[in-house]
Chain A
């Protein structure tokens, strides 16, 4: 009797302590977010792995042994060691590694060189240059690929001739028209912005006195560059490489447009084909391959950065150093840089626009000029009766879908990011915080196309209270928000780190409850991070192709997926016209958001 009352008396304080610990805002938030992510991030991964090791109903047409639902290594064997392995895995894997490495190296070289020219030299018009150079990154990666086709396609493929052949009579060789060379170049032109933004950021916050100390001690300019500057910005170079490489690994649009016509496949396009031909399990095995490559890359990155990261913090207040004088080379460098801008930024857009005004795809003379693909009425003799896109209800539908999807994804992502950041930063050091942080990072590892495929499988039927989402806008929204978790949690964490604990504690001491602390203190203080995060998500969602290509239906189709469909069917002009519309929307939105203070695309990049 006495014993039991004592137990009760000691239990009550323990229970109260536990309640206090569990009712802290960051704990509640962490638990809720972890539960949501368990369902939206971890479960899909589990579903995918499970799919690869069980017999699928479709397997029945491949082998008589199939017992749907039973455990099997059939799919792994099929992908890794069968007569199909060569075309299904090894060749695409080789192609993937080749194009991703090539694109990353080229992008890095371009990015570093341009960053150095813009930040550290007396090149005229540097400020203007730095905003122009981020344009390719804002556009869909396959814009350049489409433009490349306009310029370099040859009549051996698909009939129509490219601008080059029409203008000069030279027939571009196949290796220049399609395949690895154009893929590497087009991706590099898209991705060099990563390296440019990260390295120019590192260069401009690098304390010039570190370099000057070297000069004072008698080091020559190149010695300062190689012994001091490069080692100090090495972490950002590595980050840029990893960022570029892991994106290029899963990139879909560019290899699809430039590789498919000559049967040059990479893992992402093979994966898409597999899933399109209902070989989902095989496709998922390929996803696993992509995921493993991603993990290895990230692991290497962390091993390499782990040691070096410490001195990123040395970066000083950003003293402006004396710019390097280019001297007599100034004119030449300036010309080359602007030539690059012309080739990489202006020309692709011009070619796309030009193509949309061409009635016949292989006649580049002015007599072929038409407004048909913009405003023309349906004519059965042209492009199977597709009307000019401004008359095309599909365009309006897709535009509405795209804008709605991008705005809502960006809004939700920004908010979720702050919540994730709050749970991670306030709980720093606790197990829950680590779990939340790691879970939010998981979608980064899953290639977009595979992520879309998993969601297709998971939400095709009702689960618990959630009805079947297939064919609805909500599925696109869900998958876009979840795929953005890694970026939103990163930028949210960074924003919360800056807010610091004491600003919130000051409100706590004054008696403000959590909701009013969040609304009145945390949210306003995260504003600048929110705006740049919003812009970045808006842009990436606007141009998203691979993530949602498997999930869209005619009703929910977006601008990029509409382009893809037209391009796939060989209707280049309508596809290009839609791309032009998409580009205009992105550029206008970017311009508008930039009017707001605190918006900077580099900030949301968080790498």
Chain B
């Protein structure tokens, strides 16, 4: 198992700073996901760790060995860094068979023929594509090509997996299957994995840690549940979670030891955070409680649209100018344009500073663990 560390790493492409002074540690055996919108620099970080790009500042260490350093002028060739890589496009060689693709690394390393045959054979069997060894990649489905790319990564038995959006070209159902398989693979190989994705569900389901990126900088590095429950910034809370978090402008007012968030048409009371002044209230759709009858302390809204999808129903409800997205997992039959009553759970509401976008009042913290 290997540890990867980035120290003050910066990468520029012309006038664009793709990666801006990033410090990041990936511990041994970790499955760390770089999560962010496209163009935020996450793939650039992966490529710098792989040695496919050189940092313009800072250094990269694998197990305390400097593999890239601008200041010291050190550069270790990609093949000597001990990782395997799956590209987003898979980058399978169309003129080689599945077997030849998977065996390439071992052949370059001049391993004995017999050993190559045995090892590649075993990996292809593990990945359930042994019977396709003589096919060409373009004769296979997307899911099978994905497995070939994995086989090619695994064959030289790397201690580090670098995965660049490996699932983004698969259809939704296959993607879910592959998630669990990848997670399993990481565990059995005992490798350290860096996973790049823009899909927040993928990040939440697979990682031991998530590093959320925005415009070349790290916004938050944390365990998945903490990223979900206590997003450090408005950007993170907006990016992680589906449907999107409700973000509401409010004024925080202290009242008898508790904080009230005062909105235009309603007030959310009993918040634990000790702040006052302009804030943004963040409430996840599943944390808004609906009821079909008036309740004490509930605000009356009108349903704007109702979008049932089987296991859950997404509703947009309206009160004056205020529009809320709500997720309800009960089997509800609600028509549009009818009154509905909404209550907020103060333990599930986060407050952000309006000016800085930083979390100022996390309501309930999940148990500290990672």
Chain A residues in contact with chain B, CB under 8 A? 12-17, 20, 429, 500, 502-503, 505-512, 516, 521, 524-525, 527
Contacts and interface: CB of A to CB of B under 8 A. Distances in A.
A13 B109 contact: no
Interface stretch (B17-25, B84-92, B338-346): B84-92
Contact of A502 (B71, B75, B89, B109): B89
Contact of B91 (A12, A16, A502, A512): A502
Given A20-B54, A502-B91, A524-B95, A509 B74 contact: no
For the complex of A and B, list the 5 residue pairs with the smallest distance between their C-beta atoms, beginning with the closest: A13-B73, A16-B73, A511-B79, A502-B91, A510-B105
Given A505-B91, A525-B93, 7 more contacts: A506-B152, A508-B52, A508-B78, A510-B108, A510-B156, A511-B109, A512-B79
Given A16-B74, A508-B78, A510-B79, A503 B105 contact: no
Nearest to A502: B91
B94 interface: yes
Contacts of A527: 95
Contacts of B348: none
A507 B107 CA distance: 11
10 contacts: A12-B73, A13-B72, A13-B73, A16-B74, A502-B87, A507-B108, A509-B105, A511-B78, A511-B105, A512-B108
Contact of B50 (A503, A509, A524): A509
B70 interface: yes
A510 B72 CA distance: 26
Contacts of B91: 500, 502-503, 505-506
B54 A509 contact: no
Contact of B89 (A15, A17, A500): A500
Given A503-B91, A506-B91, A524-B95, A17 B73 contact: yes
Contacts of B80: 511
B104 interface: yes
Interface in B28-86: 50, 52, 54, 69-75, 77-80, 83-85
Contacts of B54: 17, 20
Nearest to B70: A17
A512 B106 CA distance: 10
B254 to A, nearest CB: 55
Interface string B110-126: 00000000000000000
Given A15-B73, A502-B89, A525 B108 contact: no
B95 A507 contact: no
Given A20-B75, A510-B105, A525 B94 contact: yes
A506 B148 CA distance: 13
Contact of A506 (B14, B74, B87): B87
Interface of B: 14, 50, 52, 54, 69-75, 77-80, 83-85, 87, 89, 91-95, 104-105, 108-109, 152, 156
B108 A516 contact: yes
Q: Is the interface of B mostly helix, strand, loop or mixed?
A: loop
Contacts of B93: 503, 506-507, 521, 525
Contact of B71 (A13, A511, A525): A13
B85 A509 contact: yes
A16 B84 CA distance: 26
Contact of B52 (A13, A429, A503, A505): A505
B86 to A, nearest CB: 9
Count chain A CB atoms within 10 A of each CB in B69, B95, B109, B152 and give the residue with the most: B95
A505 B87 contact: yes
B152 A508 contact: no
B73 A509 contact: no
A15 B72 CA distance: 10
A511 B158 CA distance: 13
A511 B108 contact: yes
Contacts of B71: 13
A170 B206 CA distance: 90
A406 B37 CA distance: 53
Contacts of A511: 77-80, 105, 108-109
B158 to A, nearest CB: 10
Given A506-B93, A508-B78, A525-B95, A14 B108 contact: no
A317 B286 CA distance: 43
Contacts of B78: 508-509, 511
Contacts of B52: 505, 508-509
B305 to A, nearest CB: 30
Contacts of B152: 506, 510
A20 B72 CA distance: 12
A514 B73 CA distance: 22
Nearest to B87: A502
B16 to A, nearest CB: 12
A530 to B, nearest CB: 13
A12 B80 CA distance: 22
A268 to B, nearest CB: 44
A149 to B, nearest CB: 50
Nearest to B100: A520
A521 B108 CA distance: 13
Nearest to B52: A505
B73 A507 contact: no
Contacts of A15: 73
Nearest to A506: B91
A527 B95 CA distance: 10
Contacts of B104: 507, 510, 512
Contacts of A509: 50, 52, 78-79, 83-85, 105
B3 to A, nearest CB: 20
B108 A506 contact: no
B223 to A, nearest CB: 30
A24 to B, nearest CB: 10
B284 to A, nearest CB: 37
Nearest to A511: B79
Contacts of B95: 524-525, 527
A525 B94 CA distance: 8
Contacts of A516: 108
A512 B109 CA distance: 8
Contacts of A14: 73
B149 to A, nearest CB: 9
Contacts of B79: 508-512
A265 B85 CA distance: 65
A525 B85 CA distance: 21
A527 B94 CA distance: 12
Nearest to A523: B95
B313 to A, nearest CB: 36
Contacts of A508: 52, 78-79
Nearest to B50: A509
Contacts of B74: 13, 16
A20 B70 CA distance: 11
Nearest to B81: A509
